[in-house]
Amino acid sequence: MNLSKRIGASVVAMALVGSALAGAAPAFAANKSELVIGALLDVKSWDPSQADIGHMAPFYQAAYDNLILRTPDGKYKPNLATSWKLNADNTVMTLELRSGVKFTDGTVFDAAAAKANLDNFIKGNGPQAGTLAGASVAVVDSNSITITLKDPNPELAYYLSTTDSYMASPKALGTAGLKTSPVGSGPYIIDPSSSAGSQEVFVANPNYWDKSKIKFKKVTFKVMADTTARLNALLSGQIDATLLDTKTSPTAKGRGFTQYLNNVDWQGLLMFDRAGKINVNLKNVKVRQAIAYAINRAALLKAMQDGQGEITNQPFAKSSPAYDVALDKSYPFDLKKAKALLTEGNASGGFDLTMPGWPDPTMNAIVGDQLKAIGINVTWVQTPAADYRNALKTGKYAAGIFQLFQGTPWVAINQLATPNGSWNILHSTDPVIDKALASLKDDASDKNLNAQAKVINKFLTQNAWYIPFYRVPQLFFTGKRVKTANQAQNAVPYLYSYAPTGK
- Summarised one tens digit per residue, pLDDT across range 212-260 is 999 999 999 999 999 999 999 999 999 999 999 999 999 999 999 999 9
What number of other Cβ atoms are within 10 A of residue 19's Cβ?
9
pLDDT of 14 above 90 = no
pLDDT of 17 above 80 = no
pLDDT of 23 above 90 = no
pLDDT of residue 32: 56
Report CA 30 to chain centroid distance, whole Å.
33
Residue 177, exposed/middle/buried by CB under 10 A (0-12, 13-18, 19+)?
exposed
pLDDT of residue 142: 96
pLDDT band at 335 (very low <50, low <70, confident <90, very high): very high
Percent of the chain with pLDDT over 70: 94
Whole-angstrom Cα distance, residue 271 to residue 266? 15
pLDDT band at 9 (very low <50, low <70, confident <90, very high): very low
User: How big is the CA angle at 78 (ends 74 and 83), to the nearest 5 degrees?
Assistant: 115
Strands 351-356 and 376-381: parallel
pLDDT of residue 324: 96
Mean predicted confidence (pLDDT) in 439-445 = 88
pLDDT of residue 386: 83
Give all strands (DSSP E) within 166-244, no chain letters. Answer: 188-190, 199-204, 218-223, 241-244
pLDDT of 404 above 70 = yes
What number of other Cβ atoms are within 10 A of residue 497's Cβ?
18
Round the average pLDDT of the chain to a whole number and report it: 92
Report CA 26 to chain centroid distance, whole Å.
31
Residue 412, CA atoms < 13 Å, CB-side half-sphere: 30
Q: How many residues are present in the chain?
A: 503
pLDDT band at 328 (very low <50, low <70, confident <90, very high): very high
Instruction: Choose among 361, 494, 488, 365: nearest CA to 56.
Output: 494
pLDDT of residue 473: 85
What number of other Cβ atoms are within 10 A of residue 326's Cβ?
10
**Contact status, residue 332 vs residue 490, Cβ threshold 8 Å:** no
pLDDT of residue 445: 87
